Amino acid sequence: MDQADERDIRDTVATYTDLWVRHRMDEWGALFTEDSDFITHRGLWWRSRRENVAGHEDVPASVVEQKKSYTQEVLSVQDVAPGVALVHTAWRWPDHRPPGAAPEDRRGIVTLVMVKRDGSWLIRAAHNTRENGLEETA
C-alpha cells in the first residue's frame, strides 16, 4: 500500500469519527458500501448500509449529547490485497452515561475492512468490540 492510500484511509476514519460524534448518520453512512456489515459491541449484526445507519440513529438524545467526549485513534493499517485494507482503531468514551445508569469510561477496538471503490476508501465491514464494562450488563 502506498502512502497516499494509507493517508486516505486515515482521513476516512477521521471523517467517520467526526461525523459519528456530530451524529450526522446519513453522511457517516455514506462512508460504508451499500452491502456493508456492521457488528455492534453487543453482537447485533446489521447487513446493509441502511440497517447500520438506522441502528445508529436509534439512540436516546441523552446519548447523542455525550458523543462530544468520544475519540478514536487508528492503531494499524494493513494491506490485504490490491484495494483492500484491514484497519484497527481504538476508541474511548469517557463519562458515558447510559440512560438511568452511572457514568462509565468506555473503551474498545473497531476492526474495519476497507475497500477502494472509484478512487475512495469505503468501509465494507466493521466489528466493534468493547474492552470493558460488558460483564456488568449481562
pLDDT in tens, 39-92: 999 999 999 999 999 999 988 888 899 999 999 999 999 999 999 999 999 999
Q: What's 97's domain CATH number?
A: 3.10.450.50
Answer for the pair 93, 68: CB distance below 8 angstroms, yes or no: no
What pLDDT is recorded for position 135?
59
User: Structural domain tally of the chain?
Assistant: 1
Average model confidence (pLDDT) across the chain = 93
pLDDT higher than 80, residue 104: yes
Which amino acid is present at 95? D
Residue 9: phi and psi, rounded to 5, are -65, -45
Print the domain residue range for 132: 3-137
Q: Which residues contact 120 (CB under 8 A, 6 or more apart)?
A: 8, 12
Q: What percent of the chain has pLDDT over 90?
A: 80
pLDDT higher than 80, residue 10: yes
Long-range contacts of 27-33 (CB under 8 A, 24+ apart): 28/53, 28/56, 29/53, 31/122, 31/123, 32/122, 32/123, 32/124, 32/126, 33/115, 33/117, 33/122, 33/123, 33/124
Is this structure's pTM higher than 0.85?
Answer: yes
pLDDT higher than 70, residue 136: no
CA dist 30 and 17 (Å) reads 13
What pLDDT is recorded for position 50?
98
CA dist 123 and 17 (Å) reads 13
DSSP state letter for 45? E
